[in-house]
């Protein structure tokens, strides 16, 4: 009976992606006597036993993301490709019920990471990830998804043009590292016996160009120095692999310094597996989709298709998203370009992951197997989706118009603009089906005692000249204008400024003497035309706020919730896109190339700063204890450091007193940066080293934040990429703009915290 069913699935899978996911029948199926079904055996032994039962032809058919399984062994088909960037998402392995409102017809849709990052609240991120993995397990239990999720995207948001920046928590690597560690804990769970799902940190490494001015990701060669590779591009992956023990890593489309990442054993073996000790059972590397093909073309890294697949497999790419391994490994095998040991190692890794997910174990021992649709989009999850949006929203400008006092005022609000009644646009990319999508307009309509005029897109100036928008603005007491920039995969932005047409309509609508609130959605655009425009009363940035986005926005606007989000990226001036090619990967300013520097660490001409965010009250921040020592000896610090990874050793926990000087209860994000003259020149302007979000600080009250500094907080990377603690002057800066500064020095001789593995000479 079970076998009969497996046969059917296998047949289906040979012609299309598998719709459901059944596990092997370890009780009565052909594998029941194979060690893979022996729960007492080690994971490795179990996986090896399975692989030993396979022919070479079968092995090769199992290397692609849409695995047909092996019928004769009762090994079911399996789709390895699931997405869940901010909720279980539409993807080859996820099947939503198409019957609207039916069980499994939706999943909780959280804001995009760029807005979640703006909350600077890692506990919240873990809670979000826990909901996502719970819902993923529920979908899997209903045969509606697999258990391998190709999320998160953690390439740092280096350039404002990047089409996928919205998928990341922002531009700062300390921030991404803290965020992603919590996220992976939530996704992979804390069961000592079973992975909840497999998370995948992507895209390893140096990937953040989609298609800019003739440079497509499929063939782009990112030229990065060892110093900036180690200090910036690698940092989130180090946390994933070394500290968070993510079970999967995805190599990327681009080449790094001449070698396509999926064919680069320096990256996949020397750095990832050797240097970071990323060798637990079931840890595997997947390619990005068709990136093995790209090793051949357009990278032209190998002379033949067979070399492309063999080199990638040998380098350590265990799974191919696509059919390129399946198509070309047979000839590569015949040509002797790889041997059984190599493919066996890849398959052992892949099936070890399945074993760690419990796919070969009885269901009744596994708590995750009991999750059902009753665990999807629960009231608590709904509240969480609303809360994370509220916590992320950033108040960029306010002349006192906000919070709007709407109660008992019989106020008329015009809600105008292309995003005013946004639906799926609020989700951003890699989205699933949301249970509902609460637009700003819908949320405004539900405000008690408020009359709402809606005008949607301002109109086509060619055909009508905005009459509906003008009429609504003139008739209203307050104008909320919701607009912004969208971005997309496979396409970088050319423009980071508001179009002339939008500036025209916005300043026109702002000119009727009504308070005018710019609700800036999506990606960042240069707000210069509005920041100092006297008719623009307030600017809120709300990113892609997810299923309850409109409610979150209206809660902020009306003061039900006080805003405390901080900018997760630098807002650059419009001309920045003319100042530096996107393909210039350097972060440091360079007088020769004209690169003005990248991120708040190196660029000092921002329009709105990384870390900036206003409140409905005023906070002061100061050091709690001003009698701290002001000098440390490096050798003493090193002697006290006993962690395996020395960057993680504690340095100081610095108390910061945060006082709410105004009259509105509010959260406050305490940000700590290190600056100063130490280590290699040039020195960064400053660098984030710690943050803590304080909650609901009452008016007049003082709360205490703790900035936990490590030796890594103080260290810098030399030109070889080594992490070094240098003698010199240090400052700890609190808040943006800086409210408090603590100066101290390190003395003695420099000490290496981490030796960076050097790349072999490139071709």
Q: Is residue 513 within the footprint of a copy of itself (CB under 8 A)?
A: no
Which residue, 463 or 631, is less far from a copy of itself as judged by CB?
463
By CB under 8 A, residue 500 contacts a copy of itself: yes
Binding segment for a copy of itself among 170-178, 295-303, 444-452, 477-485 (CB under 8 A)? 295-303
Size of the site for a copy of itself (CB under 8 A): 45
Using rule CB under 8 A, residue 212 touches a copy of itself: yes
* Candidate residues 180, 289, 707, 759; the one interacting with a copy of itself per rule CB under 8 A: 289
In 75-149, beta strands by DSSP E: 78-79
Beta bridge partners of 620: 659
Residue with Cβ nearer a copy of itself (103 or 457): 457
Options 465, 640, 700, 760; binder of a copy of itself; rule CB under 8 A: 465
In DSSP notation, 398-437 reads: ESS-PSP--TTS-EEEEEESTTTT-SGGGG-SS----S--
Q: Tokens for 109, please give them.
A: 């849709």
Rounded to the nearest whole angstrom, what is the least distance from the CB of residue 324 to a copy of itself in the complex? 7
Number of other CB atoms surrounding residue 701 within 10 Å: 11
Site map (CB under 8 A) of a copy of itself, residues 303-342, x = contact: --x---------------xxxx-xx---------------
Residues numbered 48 to 67 that lie near a copy of itself (CB under 8 A) are 65-66
120 binds a copy of itself, rule: CB under 8 A: no
Q: Which member of 219, 258, 589, 727 binds a copy of itself (CB under 8 A)?
A: 219
Q: Interaction with a copy of itself in 597-656: which residues (CB under 8 A)?
A: none
Decide: is 298 part of the binding site for a copy of itself (CB under 8 A).
Answer: yes
DSSP string, 671-739: EEEEESSBSSSSPPS-EEEEEEEEEEEPTT-EEEEEEEEEHHHH-EE-TTS-EEE--EEEEEEETTTT-
Name the β-bridge partners of 674.
Answer: 687, 732
Nearer to a copy of itself, 382 or 503 (CB): 503
Task: Please report where in the chains the tokens 């500064």 appear, as a residue.
Answer: 741
Which tokens is 541 given? 């940035």
- C-beta closer to a copy of itself: residue 470 or 671: 470
Q: Which range of residues in 188-196, 294-302, 366-374, 694-702 is near a copy of itself by CB under 8 A?
A: 294-302
Question: Shortest Cβ distance from residue 763 to a copy of itself (Å)?
Answer: 18
In the complex, the smallest distance separating the C-beta of residue 383 from a copy of itself, rounded to whole angstroms, is 37
Rounded least distance, CB 582 to a copy of itself, Å: 9
Nearest CB to a copy of itself, comparing residues 4 and 462: 462
Identify the H or E element spanning 602. helix 599-602
Nearer Cβ to a copy of itself, position 185 or 320? Answer: 320
The answer for 522, left when phi > 0, alpha when psi is -120 to 50, beta otherwise, is left
Q: Which is nearer to a copy of itself, 196 or 299 (CB)?
A: 299
Torsion of CA 711, 716, 718, 721, to 10 degrees: 80
Q: Does 580 bind a copy of itself (CB under 8 A)?
A: no
**Number of DSSP helices (H) and strands (E) in the chain, helices first:** 23, 27
Active site residues: 288
What is the longest distance spanned by two Cα atoms in the chain? Answer: 81
If the CB atoms of residues 471 and 749 are measured against a copy of itself, the closer one turns out to be 471
- Look at residues 320, 257, 347 and name the one whose alpha carbon lies nearest to residue 56: 347
Residues 110 and 128: beta-carbon distance below 8 Å:
yes
Minimum distance, C-beta of residue 580 to a copy of itself, in the bound complex (Å)? 11
Strands 255-256 and 248-251 turn out to be unpaired
Q: Give the 3-state secondary structure of residue 492.
A: coil
Q: Which two tokens stand for residue 431?
A: 């989205």
Distance of CA 190 to the CA centre of its chain: 21
Q: Which part of the chain contacts a copy of itself (CB under 8 A), choosing from 287-295, 448-456, 608-616, 666-674?
A: 287-295
204 binds a copy of itself (CB under 8 A): no
Tell me which residues touch a copy of itself (CB under 8 A).
17, 65-66, 92, 211-216, 218-219, 289-290, 293-294, 296-299, 305, 321-324, 326-327, 461-465, 494-497, 499-501, 503-504, 508, 574, 577-578
């Amino acid at each position: 009976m079970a076998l009969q069913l497996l046969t059917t699935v296998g047949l289906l899978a040979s012609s299309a992606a598998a719709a459901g996911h059944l596990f092997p029948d370890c009780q009565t199926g052909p594998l029941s006597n194979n060690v893979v079904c022996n729960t007492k055996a080690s994971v490795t032994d179990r996986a090896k036993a399975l692989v030993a039962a396979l022919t070479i032809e079968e092995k090769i058919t199992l290397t692609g993301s849409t695995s047909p399984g092996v019928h004769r062994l009762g090994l079911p088909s399996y789709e390895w490709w699931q997405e869940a960037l901010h909720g279980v998402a539409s993807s080859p392995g996820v099947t939503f019920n198409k019957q609207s409102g039916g069980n499994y017809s939706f999943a909780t849709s959280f804001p995009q990471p760029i807005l979640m990052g703006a909350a600077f609240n890692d506990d919240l991120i873990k809670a979000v990830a826990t909901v996502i993995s719970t819902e993923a397990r529920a979908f899997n239990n209903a045969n509606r998804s697999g258990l391998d999720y190709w999320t998160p995207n953690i390439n740092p948001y280096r350039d404002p043009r990047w089409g996928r920046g919205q998928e990341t928590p922002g531009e700062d690597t300390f921030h991404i590292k803290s965020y992603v560690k919590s996220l992976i804990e939530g996704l992979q769970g804390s069961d000592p016996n079973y992975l909840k799902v497999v998370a995948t940190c992507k895209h390893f490494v140096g990937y953040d160009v989609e298609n800019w001015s003739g440079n497509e990701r499929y063939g782009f060669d990112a030229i990065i120095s060892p110093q900036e590779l180690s200090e910036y591009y690698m940092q989130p992956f180090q946390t994933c692999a070394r500290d968070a023990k993510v079970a999967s890593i995805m190599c990327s489309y681009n080449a790094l310094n001449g070698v396509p990442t999926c064919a680069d054993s320096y990256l996949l073996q020397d750095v990832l597996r050797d240097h970071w000790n990323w060798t637990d059972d079931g840890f595997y590397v997947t390619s990005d989709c068709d990136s093995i093909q790209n090793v051949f073309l357009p990278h032209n890294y190998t002379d033949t298709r067979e070399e492309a697949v063999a080199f990638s497999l040998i380098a350590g790419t265990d799974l191919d998203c696509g059919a390129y391994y399946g198509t070309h490994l047979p000839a590569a095998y015949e040509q002797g370009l790889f041997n059984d040991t190599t493919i066996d190692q890849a398959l052992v890794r892949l099936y070890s992951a399945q074993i760690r997910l419990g796919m070969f174990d009885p269901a009744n021992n596994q708590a995750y197997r009991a999750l059902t649709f009753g665990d999807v989009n629960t009231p608590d999850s709904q509240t969480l989706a609303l809360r994370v949006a509220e916590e992320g929203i950033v108040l960029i400008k306010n002349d006192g118009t906000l919070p709007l006092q709407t109660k008992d005022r019989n106020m008329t609000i015009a809600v105008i603009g292309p995003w005013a009644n946004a639906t799926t646009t609020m989700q951003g990319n890699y989205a699933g089906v949301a249970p509902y999508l609460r637009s700003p307009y819908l949320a405004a309509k539900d405000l008690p005692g408020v009359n709402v005029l809606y005008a949607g897109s301002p109109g086509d100036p060619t055909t009508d000249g905005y009459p509906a928008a003008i009429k609504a603005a003139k008739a209203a007491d307050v104008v909320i204008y919701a607009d912004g920039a969208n971005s997309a995969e496979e396409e970088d932005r050319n423009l980071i400024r508001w179009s002339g047409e939008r500036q025209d309509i916005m300043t026109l609508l702002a000119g009727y003497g009504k308070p005018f609130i710019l609700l800036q959605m999506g990606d960042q655009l240069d707000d210069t035309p509005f920041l100092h425009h006297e008719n623009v009363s307030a600017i809120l940035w709300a990113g892609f706020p997810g299923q309850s986005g409109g409610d979150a926005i209206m809660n902020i606007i009306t003061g039900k919730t006080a805003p405390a989000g901080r900018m997760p990226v630098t807002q650059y001036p419009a001309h920045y896109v003319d100042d530096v090619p996107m393909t210039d990967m350097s972060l440091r300013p360079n007088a020769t190339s004209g690169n003005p520097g990248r991120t708040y660490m190196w660029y000092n001409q921002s329009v709105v700063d990384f870390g900036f965010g206003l409140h409905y009250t005023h906070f002061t921040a100061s050091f709690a204890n001003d009698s701290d020592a002001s000098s440390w000896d490096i050798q003493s610090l090193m002697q006290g450091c006993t962690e395996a990874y020395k960057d993680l050793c504690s340095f100081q926990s610095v108390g910061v007193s945060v006082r709410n000087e105004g009259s509105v209860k509010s959260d406050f994000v305490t940000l700590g940066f290190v600056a100063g003259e130490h280590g290699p020149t040039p020195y960064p302007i400053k660098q984030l080293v710690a943050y803590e979000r304080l909650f609901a600080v009452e008016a007049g009250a003082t709360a205490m934040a703790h900035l936990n500094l490590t030796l890594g907080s103080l260290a810098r990377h030399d030109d070889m990429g080594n992490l070094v603690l240098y003698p010199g002057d240090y400052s700890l800066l609190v808040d943006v703009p800086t409210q408090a500064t603590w100066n101290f020095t390190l003395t003695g001789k420099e000490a290496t915290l981490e030796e960076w593995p050097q790349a072999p000479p490139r071709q």
